Chains A and B, each alone.
Chain A
Amino acid sequence: MAEIFVENEKAYKRRRLISNIVTFGFLSLVAIGILIPFYWMILTSLKSIQEIESVPPILWLNFSDWKITNYTDLFLTVQSGERAGEPLFPFFTYMKNTVLISFLTTLGTIITTILAAFAFARLNFKGKDTLFAVLLATMMVPGEIFILTNFLTINQFGWYDILTQTYTEAVLAMTIPFMISVFYVFYLRQTFRKIPDELYFAAKVDGTSDFKYLLKIMIPIAMPTIVTIIILNSMGAWSAYIWPAMVTTQDKYRLVSNGLRGAFTDTTGRTDYGQQMAAATLVTVPLIILFFTFRKQIMRGVGRSGIKG
């Protein structure tokens, strides 16, 4: 009898070993697939033009062949013109803009989302379901369609004047149109609806206002969802490209994404990929630090929503 147990345990251990090998083997393959672009970015950032164009591609560079000047050149200063004395790639300017835009957009989105989700989840008013359905329907319209209407709106507000646009106007133009997201409203409303009605009635009996109830009860309960929204929205704002390029009139108002794309086009229209990738690597470093600091929250957030930013 005992032998059977031992046999079973052996078989079980073997099965577990095989399943572990398969699982981790598969996960390693996927991880390699994800890491390759990063490796390629860093590798390209260290290559000369000839090495970048080499066929077959060079997959490994010895330390002595590293072209560190791709990095150091980024911090050279511009010799002449309007930007004389400033760094070639205004890394800190772009970074500051990106952080500010991400922060403001996310703050705005969170405020509108919480209020709208509360209204749709908790309050009763005429046409609530129809209004909500209409909002959901707008999700079917591709975002690109809104570029034109948003552009006209921004212009009507006077935030896009190519002669006089100020930094504040550029920031407003970049943030205001993205301070609401129907998807997040829908997402948070679902969470709010899971909170039992009894809590609301109990709070009401105690004489709490709707707003206080939202602030004191609902938001703390729905915090994980809100954190998810914050993370996803900041990631979206971070990688925005088309809109910031459209509504800013000057280079110094733009984001890292625009800078990476445009700063390395030479006068013949070719791109200096080595420098571009060096800059891209520099931009990625803060994100990686951020990711490792908030790894738990980000993983939980992405896991909960079931979508990738």
Chain B
Amino acid sequence: MKKFVLLLVTFVIALAFAGCVNVGTTASTTAGTQETTTLQLAEELPDEEVEITFWHIYGTDKTALLDQMIAEFEAMYPNVTITDTSQTDYNTLREKINMGISVDQVPTMALGYPDHFAGYIEADAVLKLDDYINNTTEYEITNSSSSIFGETVTIGLDLDDFVASYLEENSQYEGGYYYSLPFSKSTETMAVNVDVLKAHLTEIRAAGITISDNGFLSHDVPLTYAQIEALADIIVDTNGTNTTTSKCEYLLNYDSSGNMFINMSRQWNAPYTNTDGEILIDNDTTKSMLQYVQDLFLNNTLALPIAWDQSYGSTNFKYGDVCMSVGSTAGVNYNIPTDADTQENLQFGQFQVDFVPVPQFVATEGDSFTVSIDGTDSTFTGSLSAVQQGPNIGIFSSASSAEKLYAWLFLKYLIETDNTAKWAMNTGYLPARLSSYSSEAAIDLTASYSTNYADFLQIAKDFWDADGEVTWATTDVRWNYLYSSMVANIAQSQNTYYQYDPAFAAGTNSAGSATARVEAGYCLENIYIGTLASGSSYNPNTALNTMLNQLTW
């Protein structure tokens, strides 16, 4: 008995110690009380030695262009040293900053997703950038060892040049202030098996879909889901891919089920979440949408990568199991069948791939659309929407005023028209600025090939103008950049209707936005699996309720 009591006491003590973990990160401020103070900057550009730390997740051998930009910036401001460090992955990066906040050990600036910044803002650790954006101060560079000696540097930033939805994403926080600016952005586009479409030209045209003689769809006007259904009637063979009739087993693969849920919710104007962290999925429109998706699953119009036990559908697109595939612009080249593939796996051989905008429900914002759900027609008001993804950069408020000023100048330098264009060509991401699309700054893509963004975009335009019948030599370097150029063009045509995902940290009533996205993906996967197992008798609301249970408490 005595031993038991002793054990009990020690257990309680141990638990009490464990409970002593006191985190200092809860010091929060409400953004409502923040005032729009006008920042008083020094008269002269500070000439003291300044060290700026920039945290990201890029591998040590993948940062050549970033290193180059850092070197250029350091040449412009010789008193500044920028130390960039990879923190291996986004989770470690976020955790280190969150822990660092409590002990005042945060980098000067860091890469991060909106939900990371939402957390940092709650701890009052990140700098409001509006004071710099709107600042009219100008500095003349008087340091003779500077590469821009004698030039004038402005502090303010013209936001009109940025893609509107990128700005909305970075100012979605309480008070509507900018706590970060867009850096590496990506979206989704749809890869298309041109050879299969070309084999059905007459039927496709009869269905009212614009298609060129060589099987290229429109690159400006997105397909509607009504047209997707019509294409499925023409192209899908539910018994499996049939190369003699040029039919695929599935029509359309959607790589990220989370993105599909969120993007389709926007297209249907179905409430999803908001920046206050409310989970709004329990509504009739979402339920109708999921039933519609289930119908698409049932007749093989739509598939998810789990159909092939994969995380991405690009491999099965190459293999011809599916004729169209929606995926991230960052993964373009994974969709292209090449000599490096095992040739007998490529059911349609090395077919021509094209990229088009992601399907929409309406042609213009606010139009109504009618879908048949379980045999009954229902009408909804639609919106145009394409997913916008990718990290932003923010500056932390604990830095000294000189550090903050130079960090701001560095951030501004990274997202300059030419630099963001170079970054986009180098990485497969998209430029943050509208003017980048016509940037004439050249970048060496290989040792012998240098181009600028405007010419880079022209590669796909030339290809499309010739309806795929270009006379480029097989060794022409343009072939290497054709597909990246295609998605860059498509992304540009989509950038008027990008939509961002509201970011919020986990709160007292619900999980955070990152979890919401994951659960949204599971919801569609559950519907897919349930429908495969029990057909139309599976009720998609079961999956929706599971999602709701996971996200709210």
Let me know if B89 is at the binding interface, CB within 8 A.
Answer: yes
Q: How many A-B residue pairs have CB under 8 A?
A: 152
Let me know if A4 is at the binding interface, CB within 8 A.
Answer: no
Let me know if B472 is at the binding interface, CB within 8 A.
Answer: no
Query: Which A residues are in CB contact (< 8 Å) with B34?
Result: none
| CB proximity of B78 to chain A, nearest CB, Å | 16
Let me know if B85 is at the binding interface, CB within 8 A.
Answer: yes
Contact pattern, A 198-236, Cβ under 8 Å of B = 1, otherwise 0: 000000000000000000000000000000000000000
Chain A, Cβ-Cβ closest to B82: A82
Let me know if A130 is at the binding interface, CB within 8 A.
Answer: yes
Within 8 A of B (CB), among A159-205: 160-163
| CB proximity of A165 to chain B, nearest CB, Å | 9
Within 8 A of B (CB), among A24-83: 48-51, 53-55, 58, 78-83
Size bracket of the A interface: 35 or more
| CB proximity of B236 to chain A, nearest CB, Å | 20
Let me know if A155 is at the binding interface, CB within 8 A.
Answer: yes
How many angstroms from the CA of A209 to the CA of B397 in the assembled complex? 59
**Is the Cβ of B53 less than 8 Å from the Cβ of A145?**
no
| CB proximity of B110 to chain A, nearest CB, Å | 11
| CB proximity of A243 to chain B, nearest CB, Å | 11
**Is the Cβ of A155 less than 8 Å from the Cβ of B103?**
yes
Within 8 A of A (CB), among B144-184: 184
Within 8 A of B (CB), among A247-267: 249-251, 258, 261-267
Let me know if B338 is at the binding interface, CB within 8 A.
Answer: yes
How many angstroms from the CA of A80 to the CA of B65 in the assembled complex? 9
Q: Which of A9-17, A109-117, A118-126, A136-144 contacts B (4 or more CB under 8 A)?
A: A136-144
Query: Taking each of A51, A53, A90, A162, which has the highest tally of chain B beta carbons within 10 Å of its own beta carbon?
Result: A162
Query: Which B residues are in CB contact (< 8 Å) with A89?
Result: 60-61
Q: Which of A95-103, A146-154, A290-298, A301-309 contacts B (4 or more CB under 8 A)?
A: A146-154
Within 8 A of A (CB), among B40-90: 51, 53, 57-68, 70-71, 83, 85-89
Q: Which of B376-384, B409-417, B423-431, B518-526 contacts A (4 or more CB under 8 A)?
A: B423-431
Query: Which A residues are in CB contact (< 8 Å) with B345?
Result: 54-55
Let me know if B470 is at the binding interface, CB within 8 A.
Answer: no
**Is the Cβ of B64 less than 8 Å from the Cβ of A79?**
yes
**Is the Cβ of A267 less than 8 Å from the Cβ of B68?**
no
Query: Which A residues are in CB contact (< 8 Å) with B341?
Result: 50, 54
How many angstroms from the CA of A278 to the CA of B61 in the assembled complex? 15
**Is the Cβ of A55 less than 8 Å from the Cβ of B308?**
yes
Query: Which B residues are in CB contact (< 8 Å) with A83?
Result: 60
Query: Which B residues are in CB contact (< 8 Å) with A249?
Result: 53, 85
Chain A, Cβ-Cβ closest to B58: A267
How many angstroms from the CA of A187 to the CA of B102 in the assembled complex? 37
| CB proximity of A306 to chain B, nearest CB, Å | 23
Within 8 A of A (CB), among B336-350: 338, 340-342, 345
Query: Which A residues are in CB contact (< 8 Å) with B253?
Result: none
Q: Which of A49, A81, A145, A246 contacts B95 (CB 8 A)?
A: A246
**Is the Cβ of B14 less than 8 Å from the Cβ of A137?**
yes
**Is the Cβ of A268 less than 8 Å from the Cβ of B428?**
yes
**Is the Cβ of B331 less than 8 Å from the Cβ of A270?**
yes
Let me know if B13 is at the binding interface, CB within 8 A.
Answer: yes
How many angstroms from the CA of A265 to the CA of B528 in the assembled complex? 31
Query: Which B residues are in CB contact (< 8 Å) with A155?
Result: 103, 105
Report if A53-B88 is in contact (Cβ < 8 Å); known contacts: A81-B70, A267-B426.
Answer: no
Let me know if B315 is at the binding interface, CB within 8 A.
Answer: yes
Let me know if B439 is at the binding interface, CB within 8 A.
Answer: no
Report if A265-B57 is in contact (Cβ < 8 Å); known contacts: A134-B10, A162-B106.
Answer: yes
How many angstroms from the CA of A263 to the CA of B60 in the assembled complex? 5
How many angstroms from the CA of A250 to the CA of B87 in the assembled complex? 8
Query: Which A residues are in CB contact (< 8 Å) with B477?
Result: none
Query: Taking each of B88, B95, B338, B341, which has the highest tally of chain A beta carbons within 10 Å of its own beta carbon?
Result: B88
How many angstroms from the CA of A55 to the CA of B308 in the assembled complex? 9
Query: Which A residues are in CB contact (< 8 Å) with B66?
Result: 81
Residues of A whose CB lies within 8 Å of any CB of B are: 48-51, 53-55, 58, 78-83, 88-90, 129-130, 133-134, 136-138, 140-141, 145, 147-149, 151-152, 155, 160-163, 242, 245-246, 249-251, 258, 261-270
A and B contact pairs by CB, cutoff 8 A, 25 listed: A48-B340, A49-B340, A53-B334, A55-B310, A80-B68, A81-B67, A83-B60, A89-B60, A140-B14, A141-B17, A145-B18, A148-B21, A149-B20, A149-B21, A155-B103, A162-B100, A262-B59, A265-B58, A266-B58, A266-B59, A267-B65, A267-B426, A268-B331, A268-B427, A268-B428
Contacts A137-B13, A162-B106 known; 14 new A-B pairs at CB < 8 A: A49-B340, A78-B64, A80-B68, A130-B6, A133-B6, A151-B99, A162-B53, A163-B53, A242-B92, A246-B99, A249-B53, A262-B87, A262-B88, A267-B63
9 A-B pairs with the lowest CB-CB distances in the bound complex, closest first: A81-B67, A262-B88, A137-B14, A268-B330, A267-B427, A50-B340, A155-B103, A137-B10, A133-B10
